[in-house]
Structure 1
Amino acid sequence: MRVDFTKMHGLGNDFVVLDARAAPLPAMDEATARAIADRRTGIGCDQLILLEPSDTADFRMRIFNHDGSEVEACGNASRAVALLHGSAARVETSGGVIAVEPRNGGASVDMGEPRFDWDAIPVAYAMDTLRMPVGWEGLEAPGAVNVGNPHVIFFVPDTDAIPLGEIGPEIESDPLFPERINVNIATIVDRQHIRLRVWERGAGLTRACGTGACATAVHAMRRGLVEREVTVTLPGGDLEIAWDEGNRIHMTGPATESFRGSFEWGDFA
């Protein structure tokens, strides 16, 4: 079976997008997603995105990380999908329904409402997620936010000074986080600007993470460190994050189509 794909990225966080809205594809599993995502023997991407029909929204978006695991949300992929779709839409994800709208070479995404309760992150036992009484190798008192997927956030004087490639896997898989966790290391530049690096659950170090930018910005707002609208600078570029009075997070940033192609499903299944 010959299958078309679109290669896209948001600030360097790249995706292979498969569109099964009009015609179904064979069932996607972890092994197939991992094979397609492999950068040496597959097409190569941080996440595989599968678009399908939805009973509750305009269409459904499923997200598979580089390791083949299926996850709930991806902000950068949401912008890429908005660009591909070409018009405003409501999109069903495993983390909830989001609203996307193409805009100026990218998209604006209504990411929904953040969740802060310990069992919504989730963490293994009850605790205050504003200043968690835990730490790893000098990283202390983080916060946690679920923005469709789970994030832990540390504020440090210099995000570049933290060996995130070493400590990220340890925190991601700590038993405190029964569903694993995305790890965000942030520096407050001023009240309108945050610098951020992210170790992404199931994908590793990434040039950009839209949900990480949302989670980090909202956590900084909760702590009173920044205004309700901020620029978050990641290695791949900038995202604009706002948390409105109705408790909804809005993310705006670029997305790009890289190229299109096709492959034989049996080569990766």
Structure 2
Amino acid sequence: MKIDFLKYQGTGNDFIMIDNREKKLTKVNFSCFKRLCNRHFGIGADGIILIQNDPNKDFYMKYYNSDGKESSMCGNGGRCAISFSKKLGITKNNKIYFRAIDGNHYGYIQNKGLVSIKMIDIKKNMIKLCSQHIYLNTGSPHNVIFVDNIKKIDVQKKGREIRLKKGVNVNFVELIGKNILKVRTYERGVENETLSCGTGVTASVIASYELKKIYKDQQVLVYTLGGKLWVSFKKEKNTYQKIYLTGSTKLIFEGWINI
């Protein structure tokens, strides 16, 4: 079966995007997704995103990690899905409403290729302060660990050890200025350090505020290996609300493949 695809990247987090509104892939063995994401024998990507019909929203985003398994929410993937849906003509304006595995999302396209996505609300009782890390779920589960020199961290080794023990994504965070962070992430499902992780960056910012490493609920700049992301939020009572993840997205190439 011939499948058309586009490949997008959001601050280095790259995805194979497939328009599945006509349900061409309903009978496909999804284990083939692992092969498609292979950087040596396939297209190469951190994951695969299917755009599907939704009765109440512009579309439904179905996300698979590069291990071929359906996974939890992907923030950068959501931003790329917004750009992809715009190219497909699903919506004629720059405001997009869609649904993913963790619930409803709203996004919009700004100037200069920047795309913002509204993440899920996070209640304070969902944040767990531990002796060596802070845990929270921003659509995907994350451990956040603060370090003094992020360049010296062996993310592949240390991140994998924690991931295998705890079953979570692992973020190493360094505060480098007023409301400015550096973040490196080991992603489960990819089983490697990625150039960027949207839900991980969001978790890192919320954890930083919770521990009073940043003091004002305003836009925070985050440097990842793949580029810059911005996170804004409001904390009202015991809930983090209006959480927006913003960054660039780019169409890399398009093609087709036989499955």
TM-score, normalising length from structure 1?
A: 0.86
**Aligned residue for 2:182?**
195
Q: 2:162 matched to which residue of 1?
A: 171
- Determine the C-alpha separation between the residues in 1 that align with 2:27 and 2:207: 37
Give the aligned partner of residue 61 of structure 2: 61
Aligned to 1:79: 79
CA distance in 2, matches of 1:142, 1:56: 38
Write the distance in 1 (CA, Å) between the matches of 2:142 and 2:122: 11
Contact 1:79 1:106 survives alignment (8 Å): no
Q: What residue is the counterpart of 1:213 in the other structure?
A: 201
The alignment-based identity, stated in percent, is 28
Match among 222, 227, 230 for residue 232 of structure 1 = 222
- Report the residue type matching 1:254 in the other structure: S
In the TM superposition, structure 1's runs of 4+ consecutive aligned residues that sit over 3 Å from their partners are 26-30, 115-118
Q: Name the SS for the 1:244 alignment partner.
A: strand
* Other-structure match for 1:183: 170
Residue type at the aligned position of 1:241 = V
Find the aligned partners of 1:6 and 1:154 in 2 and give their Cα distance.
Answer: 35
Deviations 1:136-176 (A, max 9, x none): xxxxx2001101110000001011111111111111111xx
Cross-structure match for 2:6: 6
* Candidates 101, 104, 108, aligned match of 1:97: 104
Alignment deviations for residues 23-70 of structure 1 (CA, whole Å, 9 cap, x no partner): 532345541210111111111101111111123422111111111121
Unmatched 5+ residue regions in structure 1? Answer: 119-127, 134-140
Once the two structures are TM-superposed, the CA of residue 71 in structure 1 deviates from its matched residue by 1.1
TM-score normalised over the length of structure 2: 0.89
CA RMSD of aligned residues (A): 1.6
Match of 2:114 among 87, 106, 112: 106
CA distance in 2, matches of 1:220, 1:27: 44
Secondary structure at the counterpart of residue 70 of structure 1:
coil
**2:145 match: secondary structure:** strand
Query: Alignment partner of 2:119: what SS?
Result: strand
How far apart are 1:117 and its partner, in Å? 4.3
2:257 maps to a residue whose letter is F
Q: Tell me, yes or no, if the aligned pair for 1:110 and 1:248 is still in contact at 8 Å.
A: yes
Once structures 1 and 2 are overlaid, which stretch shifts more, 253-262 or 83-92? 83-92
CA distance in 2, matches of 1:230, 1:117: 23
| Structure 1 SS opposite 2:67 | coil
Greater mean deviation of Cα atoms: 56-65 or 19-28? 19-28
